[in-house]
Amino acid sequence: MAEDGWLFDAFQLAEVSQGRPLSTLAFALLRRMHLIAHFQLSEARLARFLCAIEDGYPSNPYHCRTHAADVLRTVHCMMTRGKVGKMLGGDQRVDLLAVYLSALIHDFEHKGVNNQYLITTGDELALRYNDHSPMENHHIAAAFQLMLHDETNFFTNTNSKVREVIRRYVIELVLATDMKQAGSLPTPPPLANMGNKGQGVMDDDLRLLTLQMVMKVSDLGHLAHAKDVHRRWVQLLEEELFRQGDLEVAAGLPVSPLMDRTKAGVTRSQAGFFSLVCLPQLQAFTTVFSGCQPMLDQARENNQMWLEEARLQGEASPAPGLSGSPSRRYGPVVLPPMLSKADDGEEAATAPVTPAVVERAEGEEAGAAEGQRK
Ligand SMILES: [Zn+2]
């Protein structure tokens, strides 16, 4: 089945599903992994819920239903083919349902601008959530509100204890996609100690932390896609960021970094982003979860592509602006929690990251999750 492959083209799925990549993929995965039967999910209600979620994704260049489908496919791949689910050692079906639902809704009704923009402009979501991850809080709350309606409440026959666990997981997983939240995640030594044993029973907190990392990596999953697909995602992200820049210009606000369409955007800073953020993170992650190594391999290939382009353009690499002193504003960025003791990951886990890189990283996740650009 196509969704099992590491290299996935969600744009193609959007075409063949006639504009329904998210609901089509979600229903197929839930059925294929026997989650519908196991949790006694109402198929008709589930189908209506999936379509309602998909319809709630605006046609943003980047934060659209196709992106959500792409993230969903990546979490599935990491949990199954990458064997992360097995390593968690708990009830894999609960974990799977939680990450699937999280991926499904993680950018629901995304406004195409970042959290800082919402806060600066006094958007109603910023007011409602007191400036705390307004976009992410909205994704979650709005999605669960759909279940208030009988016709879309697919959980009616599911054990209430399971529902409670799933809800708690989904809330924590989607909130973690805000880079500012992720930056403060504690480091759990037990997971690092697992090394490459490939087995282990984690306690609930550690399992949750791991699933948060799966979500975060998947939200940037295009970095490990085939070159042409990855490039297309970066171009779409750039356009979305430029559109926010346009709004900022129109509102008389300072234009955020990488959002000024008269200057270089994210397509010109990929090499530095890979070298300083993406690759260290993936390297640290795959040191523990070796089943996900293909993601790192492909990301390295993509990095080579950007390095070559930078070379041809006569740019230094890392790109200007991606080096310098650590940001006072953000402080050192703590990289993926479970990886702090990995051989290759230790240095990366404590390495300070420059303000420009933080901005770049946040810009990458430009929606459901990451901070600065969100
Ligand atoms: Zn996202």
| CA atoms of 257 and 266, how far apart (whole Å) | 10
* CA 245 / ligand 1 centre spacing (Å): 19
| CA atoms of 166 and 164, how far apart (whole Å) | 6
Q: Which residue has the tokens 């234009």?
A: 255
Which pLDDT belongs to residue 181? Answer: 58
222 is in an annotated binding site: no
Give the domain ranges of the chain.
Answer: 2-364
Q: Which residue has the tokens 């953000």?
A: 330
Which pLDDT belongs to residue 315? Answer: 55
Q: What dotted CATH number matches 2-364? A: 1.10.1300.10
Is 63 known to be catalytic? yes
Q: What DSSP state is assigned to residue 342? A: S
* CA 107 / ligand 1 centre spacing (Å): 5
Please count the residues of the chain: 374
| CA atoms of 359 and 155, how far apart (whole Å) | 39
63 is in an annotated binding site: yes
What tokens appear for 176 in the block? 């973690």
Q: What DSSP state is assigned to residue 114? A: -
| CA atoms of 63 and 106, how far apart (whole Å) | 10
270 is in an annotated binding site: yes
Residue 344's region, left for phi above 0, alpha for psi from -120 to 50, else beta, is alpha
Cα distances (Å, whole numbers) of residue 230 to 15, 40, 62, 305, 330:
17, 37, 12, 11, 28
- CA neighbor of 353 nearest in space, from 326, 322, 320, 318: 326
Q: Which regions of the chain are under pLDDT 50?
A: 1, 3, 182-190, 195-198, 317, 319-374
152 is in an annotated binding site: no
- Active-site option among 34, 63, 132, 225: 63
With H, G, I as helix, E, B as strand and everything else as coil, classify residue 255. Answer: coil
Query: What are the residues whose beta carbons fall under 8 Å from the beta carbon of 19, sequence distance 6 or more?
Result: none
Residues 361, 362, 366, 371, Cα dihedral to 10°: 160
107 is in an annotated binding site: yes
Pair 343, 304: CB distance under 8 Å: no
* CA 31 / ligand 1 centre spacing (Å): 23
* CA 198 / ligand 1 centre spacing (Å): 28
Q: What DSSP state is assigned to residue 318? A: S
Which pLDDT belongs to residue 192? Answer: 55
Which pLDDT belongs to residue 299? Answer: 95
| CA atoms of 368 and 136, how far apart (whole Å) | 6
Residue range 251-284, pLDDT digits in tens = 999 999 999 999 989 998 888 888 888 898 888 8
* CA 311 / ligand 1 centre spacing (Å): 30
Pair 217, 179: CB distance under 8 Å: no
Cα Rg of the chain, angstroms? 19
Q: Which residue has the tokens 């770049």?
A: 360
Please, what's the largest Cα pairwise distance for the chain? 61
Q: How much is the pTM?
A: 0.83
